[in-house]
């Protein structure tokens, strides 16, 4: 069922370890329009079976969340492509792929001439557990249907996960994307970030 507006609180955990990965329980609810690809489909399907006021726990296997871990997604990139960036292991970089789509990589190792980066999502291979509280589910307005965004609310939105070779700081993350800028927008359901934009509910760039 598309063109519904869902507003909710959430807490996201690693279903296997219990580690809290993200939470907006203290930061106000997030809102998004269904049927727009803003969140992973499995989570959206589960949410659409709920109603305002419902509280529940939803577990999503890695294959239906951020995907299984792919060792082939580790790549060595010439260090010259990171000119001007103060690299450190574990940091995440955002950029544009060869097809124009957004990419995010994690720096795994820094060599003399090459940088080993991981194109896997930070939550790849993790089963995700969402504790959610539905604040409201309603029909989207005509403007919301047209734009795919909820006017005047903290909203979610992100695209696909593309592999490419041009990286830079900035951009919003999804499903655990951590930018390294200093703006204080919180993420949504797996999209914690520190710049404009953002992810939502496990959907990944």
pTM: 0.71
List, for residues 101-121, the tens digit of each pLDDT value. 788 899 999 999 999 999 999
The full set of domains in the chain, from first to last, is 4-67+123-158 (3.10.50.40)
Beta strands in the chain (DSSP E): 4-14, 20-23, 30-33, 55-60, 74-78, 92-96, 102-110, 114-118, 128-139, 166-168
List, for residues 12-61, the tens digit of each pLDDT value. 999 999 999 988 887 778 899 998 888 888 999 999 999 999 999 999 99
Is residue 163 within 8 Å of 8, Cβ to Cβ? no
List, for residues 64-89, the tens digit of each pLDDT value. 999 999 999 999 999 999 989 999 99
Positive or negative: CA dihedral 44, 175, 97, 117: negative
Residue 72, Cβ neighbours under 10 Å: how many?
Answer: 8
Q: 147: helix, coil or strand?
A: helix
19, 21, 24, 22: which is closest to 9 by C-alpha?
24
Is residue 52 within 8 Å of 109, Cβ to Cβ? no
Is residue 201 within 8 Å of 66, Cβ to Cβ? no
State which H helix or E strand residue 142 sits in.
helix 142-147
């Amino acid at each position: 069922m598309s063109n519904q507006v869902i507003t909710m609180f959430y807490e996201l955990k690693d279903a296997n370890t219990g580690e809290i990965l993200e939470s907006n329980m203290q930061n106000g609810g997030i809102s998004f329009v269904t049927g727009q690809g803003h969140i992973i489909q499995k989570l959206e399907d589960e949410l659409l079976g709920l109603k305002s006021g419902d509280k529940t726990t939803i577990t999503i296997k890695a294959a239906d969340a951020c995907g299984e871990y792919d060792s082939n997604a580790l790549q060595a990139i010439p260090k010259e492509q990171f000119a001007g960036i103060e690299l450190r292991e574990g940091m995440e970089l955002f950029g544009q792929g060869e097809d124009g789509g957004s990419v995010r990589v994690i720096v795994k190792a820094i060599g003399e001439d090459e940088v080993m980066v991981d194109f896997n999502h930070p939550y790849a291979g993790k089963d995700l557990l969402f504790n959610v509280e539905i604040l409201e589910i309603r029909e989207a307005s005509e403007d919301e249907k047209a734009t795919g965004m909820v006017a005047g609310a903290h909203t979610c939105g992100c695209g696909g996960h593309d592999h490419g070779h041009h990286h830079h700081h900035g951009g919003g993350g999804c499903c655990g994307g951590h930018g390294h800028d200093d703006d204080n927008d919180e993420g949504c359901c797996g999209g914690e970030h520190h710049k404009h934009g953002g992810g939502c509910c496990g959907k990944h760039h």
